[in-house]
Each structure stands twice: as C-alpha cells, then as structure tokens.
Structure 1
Amino acid sequence: MSLDLFRGRYWGVAARGVAMGAADVVPGVSGGTIAFITGIYQELLDSISRIGPHTLTTLWKQGVAAAWRQINGNFLLALFAGILTSIFSLAKLISFLLHEYPIIVWAFFFGLILASVVPIVRHIRDWRWQSWLALMLGVALAILVSEMRPTELAATPSTLFFSGALAICAMILPGISGSFILLMIGIYPQVIAAVHQFQLSALAWFAAGAASGLLLFSRLLSWLMHRFPSVTLSFLVGILFGSLKIVWPWKLATSEMAGLDGEKLAPMMSNVFPAEFASASGQPSHFLAAAVAAVVAVILVLAIEWLSWRHVGNVVQEK
C-alpha cells in the first residue's frame, strides 16, 4: 500500500466517492452517474474488473504490494471509503431534505442527470446507426424500469442474493439507481431492516450477491467500453435520458398495492406539470426554486466537466 494514498489525487477520489454515496442513498439517482461526470467511471470499471483469481496468484507469487498495485488498490480504497463515509454520515441529511423539500431536491437531480449527458456525448466519436439504436434501447430500458409496479418479495437467501446482484449492476449504470430497483421489486424494506437489526445471515447473502454482480458486470461493461465505446456510451446516454422520467419533480399518486403482510406499499406516481400538481395537491409547486436548483445542478456538472478537460489539457502540455 503506497503512501500515494495520502497525497492530493486520492483526496479528490474520496470526495467523488462521497458524492457517489450521497446519490446512491436516493432511490432514483445512480452513483454511476456521479462517477461518469467526475471522470472516474472508466478507471472504476477497469479497477474492479482486475479483481479475480489471478489476483490471488499475484498475491501468492509476488506479495501484497504487487497484488495491491494490480487492482489499483489505492484508488478503490479511497473511493469506497468516501462512498461508505457518505452513506453513513449523509443518509439522514438527504432523507431530511427529501422529506422537507422533495420538489427542490428532485429538480436538482433532474438538472444533474440532464447536464451529465454533455460530457458523455463529447466522448462519442462515431454516430452510426448502431449508436442511435443503442441510444433508443437505453431510453426504452430506463422507461421500462420507471414503469415497474411495486411488488414485495420474501427475504429468502436466493432472493437476497439475486437482489444484491441486480442492485449493484443497476448502481454501476449511470441513470439507474440500485436502491430504486430494490424498492420496485419489493426487497428494499427487508434489506433496510436487516441493516438496522444487524441480521448477519441476510446481510451476508445480499453482500455475496452484490460482490458477485459487481465483479461480473464490471468486467462486461469494461470490455464493452474498450471494444465498442461509441455504442456503449450511446446506450448510457439513452439510459440517462430515460431516467429523467424517474426523477421528474412533480408527481401525483395514482394507485397503491398491498404487501405480503397486508400493509400498503409505496403508491405508484405519475408525472404532472407544476400547475396541475399545485391544483390537484393543494400544495405550492415551488417552480421558481426548482428551476433555480436545476440550473445550479447544470452549472455544477458543466463546471466539473470543464475543470476535468482543463486538467487533462494541462497534463498533455506538461508531457
């Protein structure tokens, strides 16, 4: 483990992890989106995909330091330390903001996701029919996810394992939230209960599924990003565009469903215009504040993208 971990770059990686963790707390916002707009998405995929049986071989033959360098350990440690720190420290704050100022918070995330399309599109070099098809498929997938009806699953070892794998795969994809998927398939309350009650068996099955899904899916995505970059990025852009339906700030409840124990699950929500929301709900639409929040998010993303581009340019000039 190198002393580089305590130098400037990894503090920036940890800060990106904090932002990713904050996004992952919110059902509907993906930490993968934050990873992409902050310029670490490819490195994250490549680093995770290096973990495998060959890592144990390197560990056995060359030692801990060589295995650590092979998996880009400093980067992963700094990033996941930031993610975990954020989840445990900011979860209550974000839950409070979502409860007290839901429209403004969702408007901020709407602007964040919309603006994050810009840095991705800049990396798409080839707009052939395959790229356009991938974009449309991405939009369709995100809309399909948004149309899922809440259900409820029993917390068995198999459902926890596959839920963990599915959630982590969704979390890696920009635009699709792992926690939102858990909410839709009905395992979210059981996972949260397992965390609060420290149910080791349930957490172990969920963690095993998440680890398996992360190692396998990151390899697939990393391979696609290197082999078919334009098509893969176009698909991610489509997911981001489609996910805007999920984070639209003004929603009205349309129906409710009963859970396994007879309790009501989260109601289905439909998107409406601000004026219709105010008329039907009797609550203010907060349109001006929401618009300001969305614009601030757009400026923030574009500023991060500009700083990243400037940094890369400076590095190239130095070389």
Structure 2
Amino acid sequence: MGAADIVPGVSGGTIAFITGIYFRLLEAISSVPEAVVRHLVRGQFRAFWDACDGTFLVCLLAGILTSILTLASVIGTALEQYPILVWSFFFGLILASVWHVSRQIRRVRPALVVPLLAGTVLAWWITTLTASQVSPSPLIFFGAGALAICAMILPGISGSFILVILGMYAQVLNAIQSFELLHLALFAAGCLLGLLSIARVITWAFQHFHDGVLALLIGFMIGALNKVWPWKETLSWRTNSSGEQVPLTEISISPFSFTELGGQDSQILAALVCAAGGFILVLLIEWGGQRRKREAC
C-alpha cells in the first residue's frame, strides 16, 4: 500500500482490496473512536487494543511507513528513467483490480450502471485536472494530509495524485526525504483526522448499499486508468519548486502517435510484458488470499 500511494495515479486502497484486507481495515479504523471512549480513557489498554484490532493496524502502518521511507526515492527515479514501463505495470495492476472487485458484487442489475458511470466520470475528470502551486504552510500540510488520506482509502482514487493537484506532492516527498518532523507531524495529524472520518462513512455505505458502492469504486478504478496510461503528450509545462520543468497538462495518446510526435521508442512489447506482470500479480495475490481462507476453514 505504501509503494502504491507514492505513485500518482495508483491507490493504496486498491492494493488493500485485492489483498483481501480492505473491509478489516475499515472496521478497525472505524472502531478506534468508540474504543478510545469505552476503554482507553478508563485505562483498559488491553480491551482497547483488542477492540480496534491494534496488532493488525500497527503491522499495516509499519509496512506502509517502511515502504514510503525506503521506496520514495527508488520509485521516483524509476518513473523518471522508465516511465512507460512503470506506468504499464500499474495499468495492468489496476485493470486486474477492476476484474477482481467486480467479482465481489453480489447481484448484478441494470441500476448499478448509474454509480459505475458516475465513478468513472468523476475519476476521469480528476485525472484531467492540472496541478496548482501553493505556498506550503503548517495549515496546508494538515489539510493536504486530510484530503489525500480520504482518496488513498478509496480504491481507484490516488491520494498522491490529489497531492499533485494541490501542488503538495513534491513538498511532502521533500519533507519525507529531509525528515522535517513538524511538517510530517502535521501531515500525519491531517491523515488521522481524514482517515477516522472517511472510514466510518465508507463502512456505513457498504453496510447499506454494498453492490452500489462496489460499482462506484469500480468506476473510480476505470476512470483512474487515464492517469496511468503509459503514453502521454505534454501540452504545457510548469516549473516546480526545484526549478525543474515538469508537465502541467497531458493527454493520453496511442503508442504510435507517441512515436510520431516525439520520435521516441514507444516500447510496446516491453510495456505489454509489464502490464501483464501487474495483471498476473493481482491474480497471484487473489489466489494466495483464497488459499489462506481455505486453510483457515
């Protein structure tokens, strides 16, 4: 989840869903406020830990933070040197995730087309937004964390891409790499507030509108494919905080147009292999999850 959240366009929520821990994660997060009131304030630490599935949350958080701290530079370098291959891998991963999540729908019916289309259009629209430029302040770090985590927990909506739109992606990465404790603490506080809020909303929605919510999430993932499409044409550029020229507005194009316009190798064969690798990875994760369930039974 941490590795996925680093990449703008890929959601950690998607990884949670295909690994089979999504609903457990929502339940654990949703139970934290009640567990604090009922147990923690009374000094019942063991009861609090059990009520909010503390071991699960701590292990998951440790994995996410470890991945972010160790892979932030690696993934950033890979995106710069091998953008087509990296985006192809995540394209295949999200495409397989669409298939995986669609299998969780209990009863397919025509009414599900409405949330499916709504999610697709919304996510597609988000991927077309251009990045803004803001002056980072403590309040901005806090607000960015709250908004980004709400997107991260939703399959198909990329929290890191929300940071790109807000103009905070580079600022947060710099804070991680430079270990700026104040900014990181404020960002984490915003994440905590947003996470506790959105988890309860999603849990309630799943309990009352299971198939409709899944259709909406599938739409999110389909719309997000526009962001991870490997071949792009840059329409305009901007100067980032490091003084580097980075794309401001991009559109998806065919690999053949990519070669014609830029004179660069579209790497179609290698891209297909990477996309297939991402797709197969999801299948292997699903197979492993099903096998673990059978063994538990």
Distance 1:65 1:261 in 2: 48
Partner residue of 1:283 out of 264, 267, 270: 264
Which region of structure 1 is more displaced relative to structure 2, 307-316 or 108-117?
A: 307-316
Contact between 1:151 and 1:259, CA under 8 Å: does it hold in 2? no
Change in 2 beyond 3 A, CA 1:300/1:216: same
2:186 to 197, 202, 205: 205
Paired residues in the alignment total 297
Alignment correspondent of 2:132? 151
Deviation string for 1:124-162 (max 9, x for gaps)?
012334422111111011111111111112223333222
Separation in structure 2 between the aligned mates of residue 222 and residue 181 of structure 1, nearest angstrom = 22
For the Cα contact (< 8 Å) 2:35–2:51, is it kept in 1? no
Determine which of 213, 216, 222 is the counterpart of 1:241: 222
CA contact (8 A) 1:113 1:244 kept: yes
What is the root-mean-square deviation in Å for CA atoms of aligned residues? 2.1
1:86 aligned partner, one-letter code: S
Give the 3 Å change call, closer, same or farther, for CA 298–191 of structure 1 in structure 2: closer
Distance 1:22 1:67, change over 3 A: same
2:32 is paired with a residue of what secondary structure? coil
| 2:51 is the counterpart of 1:70 | yes
Matched, 1:220 2:201: yes
Per the alignment, do residues 62 and 199 of structure 1 end up closer, same or farther by CA in structure 2, a change over 3 Å counting?
closer
**Which of these residues, 269, 288, 294, is aligned with residue 307 of structure 1?**
288
Q: What residue identity is the alignment partner of 2:146? A: A
Change (3 A) 1:79 1:54: closer
Aligned residue identity for 2:257 = E
Give the deviation of 1:23 after TM superposition. Answer: 0.9
**Secondary structure at the counterpart of residue 289 of structure 1:** helix
Mapped to 2, the partners of 1:194 and 1:315 lie a distance apart of 42
Q: CA deviation at 1:261?
A: 11
Label 1:198 to 1:108 Cα distance change in 2 as closer, same or farther (>3 A).
closer
Identify the residue that residue 68 of structure 2 maps to in structure 1. 87
Shift in Å, 1:102 = 1.1
| Aligned partners of 2:18 and 2:282 also within 8 Å | yes
Deviations 1:146-205 (A, max 9, x none): 111111122233332221111000111111111111111212233333334444443333
Q: What one-letter code is carried by the residue in structure 2 that aligns with 1:84?
A: L
Could you give the per-residue CA deviations for residues 35-70 of structure 1, whole angstroms, max 9, x where no partner exists?
Answer: 111111111111111111542431244621111011
Q: For residue 176 of structure 1, what is the amino acid of its counterpart?
A: I
Give the secondary structure class of the aligned counterpart of 1:252.
Answer: strand
Q: Take 1:261 and 1:247, find their aligned partners in 2: how far apart are those partners?
A: 24
Hey, what's the Cα distance between the residues in 2 that align with 1:261 and 1:288?
34
Corresponding letter in the other structure for 1:42: F
Identical pairs, percent: 46
Determine the C-alpha separation between the residues in 2 that align with 1:255 and 1:188. Answer: 19
1:295 to 276, 293, 297: 276
Partner of 2:88: 107
Deviation of 1:260 after TM superposition, in Å, equals 9.1
Shift of 1:107: 0.5
The question of whether the paired residues in 2 share the 8 Å contact of 1:142 and 1:242 is answered with: yes
TM-fit CA distance, 1:228: 1.2
TM-score scaled by length of structure 2 = 0.92
Matched to 2:89, the amino acid is: F
Deviation at 1:306, TM superposition (A): 2.6
Identify the residue that residue 107 of structure 2 maps to in structure 1: 126
The 1-side partners of 2:79 and 2:239 are apart by 24
Counterpart position of 1:254: 235
Q: Do 2:69 and 2:177's aligned partners in 1 also have CA atoms closer than 8 Å?
A: no
